[in-house]
């Protein structure tokens, strides 16, 4: 197939990517036909997937504003994906132009598009790295140049940990990142779960689609997700379904699929 002009040279357009599928769910244009096919296949089982992604983004923006109001001026967004309207740096820098943001993703399209969006923005950068290699992230030139790890950082792990299998020990990865950050840092997290999913028996089909696209989707229970917050004090209202975390509009008005999975914010002592 022809490679779009915006796609980085040498990129494999034959395999779907979770970040490009996410972009498709959100109505973006930086995805390939293979991503659209996989996303549509997943939506056959869970037609509300775009609503899940929108709920993720809405929570992220509320949590980022909470972080800013708490005095945080540094943001590390791992698994940041392809920038869309209302991304972290836009929310952050609208409130504090001097605040620093570092995006991290391992998808070449996400990285290249982020670099293009951030051109001329001296307070934001992007790292091509994988969540499973935290030291590569922490020791990257962009993190060293932009973030002072002796001061509090908001660590964003939004809709990313459910793509890390137990064999890769995601709890150890999150703990390693936690231990590298200063007291008063925040963990902002969302995670997929069968809890709250309408038509749960059909959701297993979506999990199967992601497995077939070589991007395994690991559904975890609320207790398993809560383990990621070990070493953190939970910010009220705790670990809840996304629309229930400090809502700006009545949660009962949300689409039923918006309640799929959990969201929470923790603070290190």
Q: Give the percent of the chain with pLDDT over 90.
A: 81
d(C-alpha 76, C-alpha 198), whole Å:
32
Residue 8 binned pLDDT confidence (cut-offs 50, 70, 90):
confident
**Alpha-carbon distances, residue 214 vs 123, 202, 247 (angstroms):** 34, 20, 34
**Region 238-244 average pLDDT:** 97
The full set of domains in the chain, from first to last, is 49-198+219-268 (3.40.50.150)
Expressed in angstroms, the distance from the first to the final Cα of the chain is: 52
Contacts of 250 (CB under 8 A, 6+ apart): none
Cβ neighbours around 123 below 10 Å, total: 17
Interatomic CA distance for residues 129 and 119, integer angstroms: 19
Position 2 confidence tier, pLDDT thresholds 50, 70, 90: low
CA distance 42 to 206: 5
> Where are the extended beta strands (E) located within 166-236?
186-191, 232-234
Closest to 21 measured CA to CA, from 217, 193, 156: 217
> Higher-confidence residue: 13 or 267?
267
Tokens of residue 200, six digits: 């749960």
Mean pLDDT over the full length of the chain = 93
Query: What CA–CA distance (Å, rounded) separates 151 from 84?
Result: 28
Q: What is the pLDDT of residues 45-60, one digit of tens each?
A: 999 999 999 999 999 9
* pLDDT tens digit sequence for 172-229: 999 999 999 999 999 999 999 999 888 777 888 999 999 877 779 999 999 999 999 9
């Amino acid at each position: 197939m022809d490679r779009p002009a915006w796609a980085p040279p040498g990129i494999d357009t034959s395999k779907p990517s979770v970040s490009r599928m996410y972009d498709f769910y959100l109505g973006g244009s930086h995805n390939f036909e293979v991503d659209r096919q996989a996303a549509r296949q997943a939506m056959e089982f869970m037609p509300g997937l775009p609503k899940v992604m929108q709920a993720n983004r809405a929570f992220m923006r509320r949590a980022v504003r909470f972080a800013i109001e708490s005095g945080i001026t540094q943001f590390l967004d791992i698994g940041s994906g392809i920038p869309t309207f209302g991304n972290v740096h836009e929310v952050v820098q609208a409130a504090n132009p001097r605040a620093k943001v570092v995006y991290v993703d391992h998808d070449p399209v996400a990285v290249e598009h982020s670099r293009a969006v951030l051109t001329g923005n001296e307070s934001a950068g992007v790292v091509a790295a994988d969540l499973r290699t935290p030291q590569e992230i922490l020791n990257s030139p962009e993190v060293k140049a932009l973030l002072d790890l002796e001061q509090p950082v908001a660590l964003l792990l939004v809709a990313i940990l459910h793509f890390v299998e137990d064999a890769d020990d995601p709890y150890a990865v999150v703990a390693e990142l936690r231990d590298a950050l200063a007291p008063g840092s925040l963990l902002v997290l969302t995670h997929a779960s069968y809890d709250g999913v309408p038509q749960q028996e059909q959701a297993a089909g979506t999990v199967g689609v992601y497995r077939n696209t070589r991007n395994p989707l690991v559904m975890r229970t609320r207790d398993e997700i809560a383990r990621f917050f070990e070493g953190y004090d939970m910010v009220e209202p705790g670990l809840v379904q996304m629309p229930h975390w400090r809502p700006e509009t009545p949660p009962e008005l949300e689409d039923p699929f918006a309640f799929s999975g959990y969201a929470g914010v923790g603070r290190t002592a």
